[in-house]
Amino acid sequence: MKTLLTTTLLLLSLSFYAQDAKEIIRKAEEKMRGKESAYTEMTIEVIRPKWTRTMGLKSWSRGNDYSLMVLTEPAKDAGTAFLKRHKEVWNWVPSIERSIKMPPSMMMQSWMGTDMSNDDLVRESSSVTDYTHALGKDSIIDGKKCWKVILTPKPDAAVVWGKVVAFVDQKDYVQLKAEQYDEDGYLVNEMLGSEVKEMDGVILATRLELIPIEKEGQKTIMTINTIKFNEVYDDAFFTVHNMKNIR
């Protein structure tokens, strides 16, 4: 009886911590997309050993199922748009006036020559629903005490990474670091969040650096210039037709 009681208490404890870890990730994700929706303007710098490139991006999102993004600069790429509706992802290329439905096989490919994958940008996979979550040992990042949350893909989830380890500030639920591993357990990318400040009433990291571990002198920096939460966007906003016209 004592053994059964101990086992039951252990299982309940593990269940509590698993749920707690998932809640941490949900709250951290909510920082970037709002409880309902978010409008964002950002600058993206692609840094290479011998050159750099800068892009401007506007994005609109509603929950996990809808997002629409358009490049505003440089001029040759302005108007290039990406749309996510549930599990469908579309790309509008103004130079050829053609919309392309992106297959799942393209999600791992580089987005616009950056260190981000197409999946990173449109977030076809969900850190909350496509992974199981477990707490590791607490860590200190930039002087802030952080939860270490280990995300492992569910067996049937169509995700890019074999494992993700996230470090979330215990005070404000800001994700300050993330490690992305391949299916063989090798660290591929490191994401660093910094310049934490309040924007539209929410404390978040406004500078994100994505650093490929094995590519020296190479990284992508995303800087949030403007963000507005919980604007109203209906289903008609997130359509292929609107993707062609958004600016």
Nearest to 18 by CA among 173, 132, 159: 132
The pLDDT assigned to 119 comes to 74
The pLDDT assigned to 9 comes to 43
| Residues 209, 194 contacting (CB under 8 angstroms) | yes
Q: CA-CA distance, 59 to 40, in Å (whole number)?
A: 5
The pLDDT assigned to 124 comes to 53
The pLDDT assigned to 4 comes to 47
The pLDDT assigned to 125 comes to 61
Sequence-distant (≥ 6) Cβ neighbours of residue 36 within 8 angstroms: 62, 63, 229, 230
Taking the whole predicted model, whether its pTM rises above 0.95 is answered as no
| Residues 88, 122 contacting (CB under 8 angstroms) | no
Over its length of 247 residues, how does the chain's per-residue pLDDT go in tens digits? 444 444 444 444 444 444 499 999 999 988 877 778 999 999 999 999 999 999 999 999 998 889 999 999 999 999 999 999 887 889 999 988 899 988 877 777 888 889 988 777 766 567 888 899 999 999 999 999 999 999 999 988 878 789 999 999 999 999 999 999 999 999 999 999 999 999 999 999 999 999 999 999 999 999 999 999 988 899 899 999 998 888 7
Domains of the chain: 2-58+110-229 (2.50.20.10)
The pLDDT assigned to 110 comes to 85
Nearest to 185 by CA among 152, 211, 141, 149: 152
